[in-house]
Amino acid sequence: MKKTTIRDIANEAGVSVALVSFVMSNQSRSADKVYKVNETTSRRILEIARRLDYRPNKAARTLRSGKTNTIGVVLSDISNKFFADIARCIEDRAYGYDCTVIFGSTDENAGKLENLVKVFMDKGVDGLIVVPCVGSERFIRSLADSDLPLVLMDRECSDVNTSRVMLNNGAALSLAVSALADNGYSKIEMIAYDMRLSNIVEREAGYRSKMEEYGLSDNVAIHRIPYKDIYGQIREVVVSALARGVEAFVFATNTLTIAGLKVLSDLGVTVPEKVRIVGFDDSEAFELYGTSITYVSQPVEQFGIRALDLLMEHISGGDPLSRKTVMLQPRLVVGNSSQ
């Protein structure tokens, strides 16, 4: 019941282990490739391998070759729907690359991020996909300077020469503002996070510049909510904004959108009669809300797919100068909440 090794096959076939190894590795190449190995021998070896149910020992292969066929993905929180969806896409696509994936969640904590990356490197990964968090910039820069292939996702990190896949965050909030301004609303306020994450910063910039474009500079108001007690914080903001006669809210993230809708619902403020909103990201929660939600949609699956493809490109050589930035475009889904 011991696992069969390359040596067992060699004995059985009466050839050297080297030849078996050669045949086995060529096997995984293109099917139409003509082996340089004698075809009869090769066929015999393959046959024996199948009969003995040969499974290459990955640890030995890794030790020898240095390749692990494993990649590490460091994201904020895998139980968050956005990242869970991305994780799923990466998992599926990695399968095609004959590659397994290990995930880690940072909870927006730079220390955890650093630690996770170290654990993954110790474990042995061929490359890393990382969602930066506040405070991790320096570490990520040093990481990029090492020779481990790296792809950044969802959030920028300045002065890092590597590939990345990002959302056009400015465009996302421009779409949100336009959706409301085009319906004649001008008192549009933004609810964002306190955190200085690049994507949040860019979304704020998108909001601001679009407001200016509509000549609404004087109405610009960005509310930066601390990461804890979101509901309570938003409630305060909403109450005072309503008192000032706000006409609409745009939200910087999905979590903020849900919390905002919950607040409005609890306050008995109907949408879109009393106030208009444009959300961020889709959510199954929207379906149970009374009115259909207008929201900015991200091509979630593209995050995973493109990031993995870029990483694989790095891993399989590819000159370091060919680093690419993939900019994903947001899309507006129009519902009644912005009418």
Partner DNA sequence: CTGAAAGCGCTTACAG
Residues that bind a second copy (CB under 8 A): 55-60, 62-63, 68, 70, 77-81, 84-85, 87-88, 91-92, 95, 100-105, 119-124, 258, 261-262, 265, 283-290
The residues, ordered by sequence, that sit 6+ positions from 246 with a Cβ below 8 Å of its Cβ are 187, 188, 189, 275
Q: Least distance in Å: CB of 296 to a second copy?
A: 18
Nearer to DNA, 15 or 256 (CB): 15
Question: Residue 193: CA atoms inside 13 Å, Cβ hemisphere, count?
Answer: 22
Out of DNA, a second copy, none, what residue 196 binds, judged by CB under 5 to 8 A for its kind, is none
- Distance between alpha carbon 298 and the CA centroid of its chain, in Å? 11
Asked if 6 contacts 58 with a C-beta cutoff of 8 angstroms, the reply is no
To the nearest whole angstrom, how small is the minimum distance from the Cβ of residue 126 to DNA? 14
Inter-CA distances, 155 with 60, 132, 193, 200, 203, Å: 37, 6, 14, 9, 12
The residue (of 11 and 336) whose beta carbon lies closer to DNA is 11
> Which residue in 50, 48, 22 sits closest to 36, CA to CA?
22
DSSP 4: P
The option from DNA, a second copy, none interacting with 85 (CB < 5 to 8 A, set by class) reads: a second copy
Specify the residue, 185 or 286, whose C-beta has the smaller distance to a second copy.
Answer: 286
DSSP string, 14-65: TS-HHHHHHHHHHHTS-TTPPPSS-HHHHHHHHHHHHHTT----HHHHHHHH
Residue 52 touches which member of DNA, a second copy, none, C-beta under 5-8 Å by kind: none
The backbone region for 269, taken as left when phi is positive above 0, alpha when psi lies in -120 to 50, beta otherwise, is: beta
As measured in angstroms, the least distance from the Cβ of 55 to DNA is 7
Q: Which of 50, 54, 27 is nearest to 39 (CA)?
A: 27
Residues that bind DNA (CB under 7 A): 2-3, 5-7, 14-19, 21-22, 24-25, 36-38, 41-42, 54-57, 60-61, 63-65
β strands within 76-149, DSSP E: 100-105, 127-130
Shortest spacing between CB 285 and a second copy, in angstroms: 4
94 versus 248: smaller Cβ distance to a second copy: 94
Q: Which does 38 bind (CB under 5 to 8 A by kind): DNA, a second copy, none?
A: DNA
User: What is the enclosing helix (H) or strand (E) of 261?
Assistant: helix 254-267
Closer to a second copy at the Cβ: 186 or 302? 302
Question: Closest CB to a second copy among 146 and 316?
Answer: 146
Residue 196 and residue 304 in contact, taking contact as beta carbons nearer than 8 Å: no
Least Å distance, CB 66 to DNA, is 8
CB of 101 to a second copy, least distance (A): 7
In whole angstroms, the minimum distance from the beta carbon of 12 to DNA comes to: 13
Which of a second copy, DNA, none does residue 43 bind to, with CB < 5 to 8 Å depending on kind? none
Q: Please choose which of DNA, a second copy, none residue 261 contacts, taking the beta carbon within 5 to 8 angstroms, the exact cut-off set by kind.
A: a second copy
Tokens for 201?
A: 């910063």
Please name which of 107, 112, 108, 143 lies closest in space to residue 128, comparing C-alpha atoms: 143
- Of a second copy, DNA, none, which one sits near residue 22, judging by CB under 5 to 8 A according to partner kind? DNA
CA 282, CA 295: separation in Å to the nearest integer?
7
Rounded CA separation 320/301 (Å): 26
User: Of 136 and 255, which CB lies nearer to a second copy in the complex structure?
Assistant: 255
| Residue 122 binding partner per list DNA, a second copy, none, with a CB distance cut-off of 5 to 8 Å that depends on partner kind | a second copy
Closest to DNA by CB, 58 or 274: 58
